[in-house]
Structure 1
Amino acid sequence: MELLLETVALYSLKLAYETEGHSPILRDDPLMGGCDREVFGLLVRRGDVVGIQVKVSHCLDLALEAVGGIDTVLGHELHRLTAEFRTAQTMEQLDAPLIALRAYLKDIQ
């Protein structure tokens, strides 16, 4: 799950900050801050659903802003997927929304 969480965060930050013609944002980029596999690993081991949601939601909010907000077609769908992620109450309930978010963020890169 740590890799999935890191990938969703990475794709979100790529949408928010990566610009054409510049170096791509990578997993070890300082921009990733507290959204790396080690941090997520600790949260997963603790079963800290709320902590995971806070970390990933910050990245998703940046991505939503980057696509023009909720009033755009891309933003509306991203908001819907984010809402599903934010309503999860157990670690198991995080899987499906994270997989959907990863696929969507990858597609709109």
Structure 2
Amino acid sequence: MELLLETVALYSLKLAYETEGHSPILRDDPLMGSCDREVFELLIRRGDVAGIHGEIGRCLDLALGAVGGRDTVLGRELGRLAEDFGGTRTMEGLYAPTIMLRDYLRDVL
């Protein structure tokens, strides 16, 4: 699960910050900040769903800005998926919305 969360964060940051012709953003990039696998592993071990929502939410906000906000076609769908993710209250409930986010962000990239 921590790898899946890290991937959603990475794709979000790539969408927000990566520009054509420049070095790609990688998992070990300082831009990833607190969105790396070890941080997510700790949050998962603690069962800190709110902490996970906070970290992923920050990345998704950046991605929403990159696609033009919630008033665009891409933004409406990303916003809907982000709301589904944010509406989860259990660790088990995070899995399906996280996969949907990962797949959507990968397609957008």
| 1:38-53 alignment, distance < 5 Å | 38-53=38-53
Is residue 85 from structure 1 mapped to residue 85 from structure 2 by the alignment? Answer: yes
Is residue 105 from structure 1 mapped to residue 105 from structure 2 by the alignment? Answer: yes
Query: Aligned letter for 2:107?
Result: D
Runs of 4+ more than 4 Å apart: none
Query: Aligned letter for 1:64?
Result: L
Structure 1: tracts of 5 or more residues without a match:
none
Query: Aligned letter for 1:12?
Result: S
Q: Deviations over 1:1-57 (max 9, x none)?
A: 000000000000000000000000000000000000000000000000000000000
d(CA) in 1 for partners of 2:95, 2:38: 18
Query: Aligned letter for 1:94?
Result: L
Query: Aligned letter for 1:87?
Result: G
Query: Which residue of structure 2 aligns with residue 5 of structure 1?
Result: 5
Is residue 14 from structure 1 mapped to residue 23 from structure 2 by the alignment? Answer: no
d(CA) in 1 for partners of 2:71, 2:55: 24
d(CA) in 2 for partners of 1:100, 1:87: 14
TM-score (norm 1): 1.00
Query: Aligned letter for 1:54?
Result: G
Query: Aligned letter for 1:26?
Result: L
Question: Aligned Cα RMSD in Å?
Answer: 0.3
Paired residue total: 109
Structure 2: tracts of 5 or more residues without a match:
none
d(CA) in 2 for partners of 1:22, 1:68: 22
Give the % identical residues.
73
Query: Which residue of structure 2 aligns with residue 67 of structure 1?
Result: 67
**Partner-residue secondary structure (3-state), 1:88:** coil
